[in-house]
Chains A and B, each alone.
Chain A
Amino acid sequence: RKEVEQDPGPFNVPEGATVAFNCTYSNSASQSFFWYRQDCRKEPKLLMSVYSSGNEDGRFTAQLNRASQYISLLIRDSKLSDSATYLCAVNMGRRALTFGSGTRLQVQP
């Protein structure tokens, strides 16, 4: 089993739609969680951290479910500019971040 798993997609959604991605992790001792956005041929950029209580930043909401060992990212009112690959990252103690392979989102007009 991979340490961090994501559905590769692509998720094709119309503008204005709500879309959600999940990311599962294998290590129950994982301590911190993040969502990154990566545009084609660019570097990953931090989108948001994922806190135990969940957190929201504008149209983006991140949740953590420790019991089922997954994190989620919800995007409301999708924009064309949201089209990208979304990477989840998990820190399992005092190690570097482990990344999922990413979920590709394509928002269509």
Chain B
Amino acid sequence: ETGVTQTPRHLVMGMTNKKSLKCEQHLGHNAMYWYKQSAKKPLELMFVYNFKEQTENNSVPSRFSPECPNSSHLFLHLHTLQPEDSALYLCASSQDRGNREAFFGQGTRLTVV
């Protein structure tokens, strides 16, 4: 079983749809993250959760709504997205928010049509 698991791996959705991305980590970590990676752009941090509490929201539009029910699970709820939101969405976890390395899930490749 991999350390950080994301589902689905691929998602195509219309601009009026509502969908959710799921992330689960089996590493006993306390911090979880959502990153967005668009073509030819660096990883963009979206949200940070530490011990289930959101500690960072990097000016992400409200059409992206995170949820962290416990330290092992993280969701990203999507609604009324735009075609420019098409990207690879990566979940990561680390022991804490401090000076520790992060481990990534395999990502969800999202296409908004």
Interface residues of A (CB under 8 A from B): 4, 31-32, 34, 41-46, 49, 87, 89, 91, 93-102
Contact = CB atoms under 8 A, between A and B. Distances in A.
Contact of B103 (A46, A87, A99, A101): A46
B111 interface: no
Given A43-B90, A91-B99, A98 B104 contact: no
Interface string B95-113: 0011111111111010000
Nearest to B6: A43
A41 B9 CA distance: 11
A43 B56 contact: no
B45 interface: yes
Contacts, number: 55
Interface residues of B, number: 23
Contacts of B97: 94-96
Contact of A94 (B98, B105, B109): B98
Contacts of A101: 41-42
Interface of B: 31, 33, 41-43, 45, 48, 56, 88, 90, 94, 97-107, 109
Given A89-B102, A96-B45, A97-B101, 7 more contacts: A41-B88, A43-B104, A44-B104, A87-B42, A95-B48, A97-B102, A98-B45
Contact of A100 (B42, B99, B100, B104): B42
B33 A32 contact: no
B45 A32 contact: no
The 9 closest A-B pairs by CB, nearest first: A32-B99, A101-B42, A43-B104, A99-B43, A31-B99, A96-B48, A43-B107, A94-B97, A43-B106
B105 A34 contact: no
Contacts of B88: 41
A96 B99 contact: no
B98 A87 contact: no
B101 A46 contact: yes
Nearest to A45: B104
Contacts of B45: 96, 98
